[in-house]
């Protein structure tokens, strides 16, 4: 085999050409890697924006949920007595009960008046029936 290679003429600058070709291919390969990595960076930026948007939306939903479902605690209102003097309270109670009684008496008077009118009408009706016979 060495005899076969002995007959082949090798140019003197072949080694320099091969080195230049290797360097050129390596440079092209590095440039290709940079081109491939740039779109990946561009893809990552929108993903980050989406995650930021999702995080803000989740925070807003959480705050709204807390605002709606967490009850607002108002301080307990303790009712106080209106009268501190027992005699005044008794007098006021008696006055209110007398007022209610007077209103009920007015209603009872109206009922009695209506009852007497009905009785007189019934008496008249009986008298008219007797006279018709």
pLDDT band, residue 94 (cuts 50/70/90): very high
Q: Quick check: helix, strand or coil at residue 75? A: coil
Q: What residue ranges do the domains of the chain occupy? A: 9-69, 84-133
pLDDT in tens, 28-74: 888 777 665 555 555 556 677 888 889 999 999 998 888 888 777 77
pTM for this model (two decimals): 0.31
Q: What gap in Å lies between CA 109 and CA 104, rounded to an integer? A: 9
Q: Which of 9-13, 36-40, 80-84, 91-95 has the lowest mean pLDDT?
A: 36-40
Other CB atoms within a 10 A radius of the CB of residue 89 amount to: 13
């Amino acid at each position: 085999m060495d005899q076969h290679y002995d007959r082949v003429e090798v140019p003197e600058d072949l080694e320099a050409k091969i080195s230049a070709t290797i360097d050129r291919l390596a440079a092209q390969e590095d440039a290709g890697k940079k081109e491939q990595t740039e779109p990946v960076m561009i893809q990552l930026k929108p993903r980050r924006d989406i995650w930021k948007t999702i995080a803000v939306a989740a925070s807003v939903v959480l705050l709204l949920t807390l605002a709606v479902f967490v009850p607002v605690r108002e301080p307990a209102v303790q009712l106080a007595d209106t009268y501190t003097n027992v005699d005044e309270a008794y007098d006021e109670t008696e006055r209110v009960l007398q007022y209610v009684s007077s209103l009920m008496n007015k209603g009872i008077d109206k009922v009695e008046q209506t009852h007497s009118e009905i009785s007189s009408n019934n008496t008249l009706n009986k008298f008219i029936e007797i006279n018709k016979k």
